[in-house]
Amino acid sequence: MSAALNVAKGAIGAYVGAQSVAALVSMSDQYANISGRLRLATDGQKAYAAASAEVFAISQRTSTAMDTTATLYARLAQSTAEYGISQQRQLGLTETINRTFAISGASATSAANAITQLTQALAGGVLRAEEFNSVVENSPRLAQALADGMGVGMGELRKQVNDGKVTIDTLVSALESQSAAVEKEFSTIPLTVERAMVQLSNSITKFVGEGSQQLGAGSALAESIAFLARNLEQVDQVVGLLAVAFGGRLVANLVKATAEKIAAAAASRELARQELAAAQAAERAAAGRLSLARAGMLQVNNGIQRLVSAGQKKEVYEL
């Protein structure tokens, strides 16, 4: 397990390292926007802290983008506050609705549409036909949970919607009564690579965003990246889950995300190594040629000395 975790963390390090500055800035801005929405939807620091922690936890448990979860919770909180629905119940509804999106296989766009229509119904105090149709289209499991909670079929539910009988109290109570059934069904969905990558993205966004908030808006981005590096071990729980679930496939997925950049860097290093080796070989060859030249010059000098010496001796003999 520890070996798999270390390999996975290494791959995550490569993933983070390959991200552009613009991507990290975007993560920081996204987290700031999430924090802003949650502050507007809560009353006081204590409620905000609870909402912030739970929105992240719900996002991880349901493998939902943190931005989507924050939007859903904030709108639910603002729409139901006047009905005396507690923060704990609002968070519970958020998780149940997130799970119905996952069960329905809803895309990010479909989930956003369903959230908009549902929260409009909550704000208006009653579920109308147009809003109901959008929920059925974008998240059929959510509509089914509402019908099951009310103890009626889809046909009867539609009739009651048309008659304006599905009020806030009815809707909330029906969904709350189905939370266990939805959770049980959700638990059968396998943890896919795509969902695991959403969890990883949430974790990185959270740590980059928190780092930026703690360091201040005027701090250098490098400090935020360093903060992430120092705190990356805190995502061990997510990484461990991914490593156990996918083993080498997780690493392969992460490596694939940065393969081109890593390969390019490796190619540059190899080219530099080859160029250095060539330069060193040329230097050695030049040194060898210089040594030969010096040896040759020495032989020439010796020859000249011998000739000069021989000439002097001949002159003496002739005298």
Look up residue 251 and give its amino acid: V
**Residues 214-227 pLDDT 10s:** 665 445 455 555 55
- Least confident range of 97-111, 229-243, 279-293, 300-314: 229-243
> How large is the C-alpha radius of gyration of the chain?
35
Q: What mean pLDDT is reported for the chain?
A: 76
Cα(28)–Cα(124) distance, integer angstroms: 34
User: Quick one: pLDDT at residue 185?
Assistant: 95
DSSP state, residue 189? S
Query: Can you give the pLDDT at residue 78?
Result: 87
**CA distance linking residue 151 with residue 147, whole number of Å:** 6
